[in-house]
Amino acid sequence: MLIAFHKPWGILTQFTPEQEGQRTLAEFGFPERVYPLGRLDRDSEGLLLLSDEAGLNSRLLDPENGHARTYHAQVEGAISGNALDRLRRGGLDLRGHRTKPCQAIAIQPDHPDRDPPIRYRAAIPTSWISLELTEGKNRQVRRMTAAVGFPTLRLIRVGIGELQMESLGLESGEWRELSTAQRALVFSGDADRSPSAPRKSASKRRSRSRHRGNRNLDRRRDS
C-alpha cells in the first residue's frame, strides 16, 4: 500500500522518539509495517508518503528518476525578482553542494495559520514562494532561501511527482491510502516512462474515508 499523510508541524518522521516528549508518526494510527518514504523535518509540514512495499523508497528518492517535489515556503521579507532568478538558475553553494536549476515563483496561497504561529516581526513583512526541486539535500529549501537573503519561516510540501496535496482533501494529521491512479501520479517522473507518454492530470477524487490521528498527545530531511 501507499499512504499519503498531511504531516503537522512538530512531528518527527519516524515511529520512535529520540527524546522523551517528542511526537512521532506512532500517534496517527498507521497500519503495521509501513515506513516513511523520505523525510520531512520536525519543523516542516505537508505531504509525506508511507508504504509497506519494498523498493519504493529507493525508487522515489533516486535522483536519476527525477521525481519533483513542490514546496510552499513563507519567507522573511518581500521576495525580490533577483532572489527568484538566483533560485531558478541554480548554482547556489550550500556547503559544497551546488544546487540544480529549479522552478521558483512568488505566490499568495491560502494556507491556514500554523499552530504554533511563525515568528512575527512588526517591521518586516513576509511573502510566499513556490519551489519545485528534483533533488533533496538536507534542509535544502531553507538553506536555498537563506542563501539569497530570505530566511524560511514556514515550509509546507504540497506535491510529490504530479500528486498534489490539495487534491487529496487531507487536513493536518489526516492520512489515506492512495488509489492506483494516484500512485501513478507520484511516479509519473520515472526515467523509464516513455518520453512520448502523456502526463496525467491530478486526480480530483477524494476518498470518503479519512483517518485522523490522536490529537490528545503533546506534541529529517526535507528539501
Rounded distance between C-alpha atoms, residue 6 and residue 171, angstroms: 7
In tens, the pLDDT along 33-65 reads 999 999 999 999 999 999 999 989 888 887 777
Residue ranges per domain, the chain?
A: 1-64+168-223, 68-160
Check whether domain 1-64+168-223 has CATH 3.50.50.60, yes or no: no
User: Confidence class of residue 203 from pLDDT cuts 50, 70 and 90?
Assistant: very low
User: Confidence class of residue 205 from pLDDT cuts 50, 70 and 90?
Assistant: very low
Rounded distance between C-alpha atoms, residue 129 and residue 142, angstroms: 12
Q: Report the CATH number of the 68-160 domain.
A: 3.30.70.1560
In tens, the pLDDT along 171-194 reads 999 999 999 999 999 988 665 443
In tens, the pLDDT along 117-175 reads 998 888 899 999 999 999 888 899 999 999 999 999 999 999 999 999 999 999 999 99
Q: What is the mean pLDDT of residues 7-21?
A: 96
Rounded distance between C-alpha atoms, residue 176 and residue 56, angstroms: 17
Rounded distance between C-alpha atoms, residue 156 and residue 100, angstroms: 20
Rounded distance between C-alpha atoms, residue 73 and residue 103, angstroms: 13
- Residue 214, classified by CB atoms within 10 Å of its CB into exposed (0-12), middle (13-18) or buried (19+), is exposed
pLDDT of residue 57: 86
pLDDT at 219 exceeding the cut of 80: no
Catalytic positions? 41
Neighbouring C-beta atoms of residue 189, cutoff 10 Å? 17
In tens, the pLDDT along 62-112 reads 777 778 999 999 999 999 999 999 999 999 999 889 999 999 999 999 999
Domains 1-64+168-223 and 68-160 share a fold: yes
pLDDT of residue 190: 67
pLDDT of residue 52: 96
In tens, the pLDDT along 20-36 reads 999 999 999 999 999 99
Average pLDDT of the chain, as a whole number: 87
